[in-house]
Structure 1
Amino acid sequence: MTVSVWLSLVLVCMLGAMSPGPSLVVMVRHSLAGGRLHGIVAAWAHALGVGLYAVITLLGLAVILKESPMAFQIIAYAGAGYLAWLGIKSLQSKGGVAAKLESGEKTTLLEAARDGAMISVLNPKLALFFLALFSQFVAVGTDVFSRSVIVATPLVIDGLWYTLVALVLSSSRMLDTLKRRAVWIDKFCGIVLIGLAIRVVVTL
């Protein structure tokens, strides 16, 4: 794999990680409700999910998924259901930002890791990303080193991006501002998550 090809992969992965979506909502929730460490744990659990998709694509399972609409629909509907569940929880303020901040209760590290991994693994957008874009880079690298780079690049970029998000959101100045708007953050996150779930179902 040449440096120019790798830089193209880096650019594509950065655009994919930085695009707003359900993953960002989950990172915001855990960074606010649990703090910096919880946000970072959620970030790297999410990154491991990204790495999992990279490995699946590398092994050729993406081709099977692409040729089996039923398998993709199962993943898509499961992802939509999980998004809707998170949205309803946020709207009801049960485990959402407002409830955690008011009671002083923090989300556990296990909850942060679970949500970070699940929103990654069950995200149909991520599956489409690797099917449509990532596979072209898989064909370029055939040796062990190139394949390792192909898997590590999206994983590391995703983890670093959401770590940055967690660090920014957990700063004292930002946290004080967001605490005053915790209830509205809950409602907004809930609406966004349910809207994304509906969009997934409608576009299938």
Structure 2
Amino acid sequence: MELTSWLALLAVVSVGAISPGPSLAVVMRNTLAGGRGHGVATALGHGVGVGLYALITALGLAVLVTRYGLVFDVIRYGGALFLAWLGIKALLAKKAPPLPSASAAPALARRQGAFEGFMIAFLNPQLAVFFVALFSQFVTADTSAIQSVIMMLTAGGVDALWYVLVALVLSRGPVLAWLNSKAVWIDKLTGVILLALAIKIIW
């Protein structure tokens, strides 16, 4: 892949990564609920999910998702249910005691964060549509496996780096303290947003 082509790919996936949506809401909430470790784990899990979609698209497998309505709908409705579950969990959450440090997060919470981040990406078939449209400009019959891996690492890496940055900024002492003071309202707002997105997907 030529440098100019890679830079064009980098620019597009960067814009896609920073666009607000359910992923940002989940990373923000998990950072608030579990601190830096929880937020970073969520970000990395999401990056893996995005990278996986990028890889299967580069390998041509995303056609199964975009062409066959049943496969697309199963993933789409699964994603809606997962968003609804996260939304309900946020609405029912009770204010947790402040964490002793911004980086404190039990291993279980980090694993849960990574799982939620991955599933938010994996259960979003629109990612397949996005990457099919994007990679059609870069993938040819001569595209090598190494080039496919480069595209995967670019998409997943940019996504993970963006959300890790979000988690690091939000987990800074003064910022986290302010967010903790508004935790109940942030949870409620996040829950409403996620439920609204779930309903939008279904309808």
**TM-score, normalised by the number of residues in structure 1:** 0.90
Q: Which residue of 2 aligns with 1:174?
A: 175
Does residue 13 of structure 1 match 2:13? Answer: yes
Task: Report percent identity of matched pairs.
Answer: 47
1:10-49 alignment runs, 5 A limit: 10-49=10-49
Q: Which residue of 2 aligns with 1:100?
A: 96
Q: Is the 8 A contact 2:10 2:155 kept in 1?
A: yes
Kindly tell me: are residues 150 and 201 of structure 1, through their superposed partners in 2, closer, same or farther at Cα, counting changes over 3 Å? same
Q: Which residue of 2 aligns with 1:125?
A: 126
**TM-score, normalised by the number of residues in structure 2:** 0.90
Give the root-mean-square deviation of aligned CA atoms: 2.0
The separation in 2 between residues aligned to 1:136 and 1:42, in whole angstroms, is 30
Q: Is the 8 A contact 2:38 2:105 kept in 1?
A: no
Question: Which range moved further: 131-140 or 181-190?
Answer: 131-140
Residue aligned with 1:142, SS: coil
Shift of 1:197: 0.7
Does residue 199 of structure 1 match 2:195? Answer: no
1:111-147 deviations in Å (ceiling 9; x for gaps): 1111111111112332332233234323386123322
The alignment covers a number of residue pairs equal to 198
Shift of 1:101: 3.9
Q: Is the 8 A contact 1:33 1:106 kept in 2?
A: no
The separation in 2 between residues aligned to 1:87 and 1:21, in whole angstroms, is 13
Q: Which residue of 2 aligns with 1:51?
A: 51
Structure 2 gap segments, 5+ residues each: none
Q: Is the 8 A contact 1:100 1:106 kept in 2?
A: no
1:71-91 deviations in Å (ceiling 9; x for gaps): 101110000010011001111
Shift of 1:51: 1.0
The separation in 2 between residues aligned to 1:31 and 1:89, in whole angstroms, is 15
